[in-house]
Amino acid sequence: MSKKTILLIFLMVTSFIVFGCGKAKKNITLAGSTAFQPFAEKLADQYMQTKNDITITVQGGGSAVGIQAALSGSADIGMADLVELPSEAKELVATVVARDGIAIVVHPQNTAAELTTQQIRDIFNGNITNWKELGGADAPITVVSREAGSGTRSSFEEIVDSVRLRKDALIQDSNGTIRETVANDPNAIGYLSHGLINEKIKALKVDGQVSSEESIIAGKYKLVRPIFLLVKGNPAGDIKEFLDYILSAEGQQTIKENGLLPAKS
Amino acid sequence: MKLIGEKGVHRILMGIAFSAISALLLITLFIISEGLPFIFEYGLTDFLFSSEWIPAEKKFGIFPMIAASLWVTFGAMILGAPLGVAVALFLSEYVPRSVMRIIKPTIELLAAIPSVVYGFIGVMVLAPIIRNYLGGPGLSLLAGSVILGIMILPTVISISIDSILAVPQSFREGSLALGATTWQTIHMVTIKAAKSGIIASIILGLGRAIGETMAVIMVAGNSVNIPGSALDSVRTLTANIALEMSYATGLHRQALFATGVILFIGIIILNSIASVALRKRAVR
């Protein structure tokens, strides 16, 4: 063999050794609810700092994706934020790790401050189409909603009963993009996870109740849903350890600090 | 090495070529096998012409999406094609060849920009402009058409430049010798000669526009609605698949594959027209 071939083989073998060795990392994937996704990422970061041999990846997609991924095994843990789990999730083991309020949000310049449940229903159904019917500016209401597989949407439509979304409502594919759309459009109204509210949008009072921790815990604010982490079969090993971490005092403290409600309060 | 020899290399290359084609064939077969049974079960006319897309109630009419895809592509053509052909003409007829050789690859770089970036610019810059000056929610058919028009520019410009440059210089010289100005030569001689190539470039650009998903999801609004005006929010066939595929099961999932079949057929038709036009250009 020529010198070049020997050198090439040597380089290949050494690079395989260098890249192939190293501690084998265990992997956990979470997929599903975009409402819980930022919090799952934060918890995963904190957890990975305490344990070096495990990698946790978090994906979004919506609660329906979370259920499907857990059922099919494409994710280890499915995240779903639903008022109640649908029948196809029966065979999954569900753990409640947090509770979250759904806030009705508008642009900060919007003069509206509160709505009743009936008004919300009418807006999303298309019966009220202009802000002036609610005492605001003369501008058409731009309704922003999620896609059909979203847990936030399913919970919203279940709690605010009889919602048949108007045909020309804008559809966005995650809590984050709803926030961006509402933040950019002075006439928009949408719903998203209470934990995702920032200074770019304004949350409205619903039936006189603010979407704050106190009202939710007191049961006064009605738009609430639990966040389930779904596992196929009983959680064991690394998955169980991660779930235990989320339910531990430290995990629940992180959840509380970032705007969600702890699982038990 | 001598062992492999001539026949061996021939067979290896043939194997590689076949594996590429068979990948494409397998994808086609998969989509058709998942989507076609649904079309037969649900009914083609109901599927194509009903306006109700409500998976929860087992209603799968994709007419609003077909209308949206067609309108968005048509809008992209109106905005992108004249601009593209004009740029191609300018670069090949009015600009020194050396300058064109620098600008053409730079424009082709536009094709390398990920569609998410186009979508992002659309959401941050274009949609507010449309909302403030023209009305409506901003995320609309018009926004989709503008963004897609920009996205098809590199394709149209590149292939049009190639077609225009392929026109023999003798055509131009003859025209100029008869006393025509540069512009008269261009629109009476050069464009007519390069016509099939320019049309092929536009059709290939349309093929890209119809298949574009990410940018359209971000700027078009995604309502299941037959557009009444360019400022209405629409959902294209591609956006429909992308929004719902991750969680669809059963009949819903098959309906999305059937949407894929329809898209497939549309793009095959477009590309066949384009290749016929391109072949006509070569044979003269």
| pLDDT tens digit sequence for A30-82 | 999 988 999 999 999 999 998 888 899 999 888 989 999 999 989 999 999 99
With both helix axes pointing from N to C terminus, report the angle between A151-159 and A63-72 in degrees, rounded to the nearest 10: 120
Given this model, what pLDDT does residue B118 score? 94
- Rounded Cα distance between A220 and B200, Å, is 64
Query: Which residues of chain B have a Cβ shorter than 8 Å from any chain A Cβ?
Result: 55-56, 123-124, 127-128, 131, 137-139, 217-218, 221-225, 232-233, 235, 243-244, 246-249
Q: How far does the CA of residue B171 sit from the closest CA of chain A (Å)?
A: 53
pLDDT tens, residue by residue, B225-241:
899 888 999 999 999 99
**Between B138, B222, B247, which is nearest A68 by CB?**
B247
| Stretch A157-170: mean pLDDT | 90
pLDDT tens, residue by residue, B132-184:
999 888 899 999 999 999 999 999 999 999 999 999 999 999 999 999 998 99
Given this model, what pLDDT does residue A260 score? 85
**Between B217, B224, B225, which is nearest A173 by CB?**
B217
pLDDT band, very low/low/confident/very high, at B281 (cuts 50, 70, 90): low
Given this model, what pLDDT does residue A217 score? 82
Q: Which of A3-7, B79-83, B100-104 has the lowest mean pLDDT?
A: A3-7
pLDDT tens, residue by residue, B89-108:
999 989 998 999 999 999 98
pLDDT tens, residue by residue, A68-118:
999 998 999 999 999 888 888 888 999 999 988 999 999 999 988 889 999
- Rounded Cα distance between B216 and B201, Å, is 21
pLDDT band, very low/low/confident/very high, at A148 (cuts 50, 70, 90): confident
Question: CB–CB of A64 and B131 under 8 A?
Answer: no
B284: pLDDT strictly greater than 50: no
From B54, which residue of chain A is nearest by alpha-carbon distance?
A: A148
A22: pLDDT strictly greater than 80: no
Residues of B in contact with A147 (CB under 8 A): 222, 243-244
Given this model, what pLDDT does residue B247 score? 82
Given this model, what pLDDT does residue B283 score? 52
Question: CB–CB of A65 and B246 under 8 A?
Answer: yes
Question: CB–CB of B247 and A181 under 8 A?
Answer: no
From B218, which residue of chain A is nearest by alpha-carbon distance?
A: A172
Q: Coil, helix or strand for A137?
A: coil
A1: pLDDT strictly greater than 70: no
Count Cβ–Cβ pairs < 8 Å, chain A vs chain B.
Answer: 60
Whether the Cβ atoms of residue A96 and residue A80 lie closer than 8 Å to each other: no
Given this model, what pLDDT does residue A87 score? 86
Which string of b and e fits A134-146 if b means at least 16 CB within 10 Å? bebeeeebbbbbb
β-pairing, A92-106 vs A114-115, is unpaired
> To the nearest whole percent, how much of chain B has pLDDT over 70?
97
| Stretch A237-243: mean pLDDT | 89
From B240, which residue of chain A is nearest by alpha-carbon distance?
A: A147
Token pair in block for residue B32: 């058709």
Q: How far does the CA of residue B233 sit from the closest CA of chain A (Å)?
A: 6
* DSSP alpha helix (H) spans, A51-103: 63-72
From B130, which residue of chain A is nearest by alpha-carbon distance?
A: A185
Query: What's the whole-number average pLDDT of chain B?
Result: 90
- Rounded Cα distance between A161 and A157, Å, is 6
**Between B223, B244, B248, which is nearest A167 by CB?**
B223
pLDDT band, very low/low/confident/very high, at A237 (cuts 50, 70, 90): confident
**Between B233, B244, B246, which is nearest A170 by CB?**
B233
Q: State the DSSP code for A116.
A: -
Q: How far does the CA of residue A71 sit from the closest CA of chain B (Å)?
A: 11
Given this model, what pLDDT does residue A20 score? 66
Given this model, what pLDDT does residue A50 score? 87
Token pair in block for residue B29: 């077969």
Given this model, what pLDDT does residue B149 score? 95
**Between A170, A173, A181, which is nearest B243 by CB?**
A173
pLDDT band, very low/low/confident/very high, at A214 (cuts 50, 70, 90): confident
B246: pLDDT strictly greater than 90: no
User: pTM for this structure?
Assistant: 0.83
> To the nearest whole percent, how much of chain A has pLDDT over 90?
42
Chain B neighbours among A 190-249 (CB < 8 Å)? none
pLDDT band, very low/low/confident/very high, at A258 (cuts 50, 70, 90): confident
- Rounded Cα distance between A178 and B3, Å, is 64
Q: How far does the CA of residue A206 sit from the closest CA of chain B (Å)?
A: 24
Residues of B in contact with A88 (CB under 8 A): 249
Given this model, what pLDDT does residue B272 score? 87
As a whole number of Å, the end-to-end CA separation of chain B is 45
Residues of A in contact with B227 (CB under 8 A): none
Residues of A in contact with B253 (CB under 8 A): none
A2: pLDDT strictly greater than 80: no
* Highest CATH level, class, for B49-283: mainly alpha
From B125, which residue of chain A is nearest by alpha-carbon distance?
A: A184
Task: For chain B, give every domain's residue range.
Answer: 49-283
A70 and B CB contact within 8 Å: no
Whether the Cβ atoms of residue B197 and residue B281 lie closer than 8 Å to each other: yes
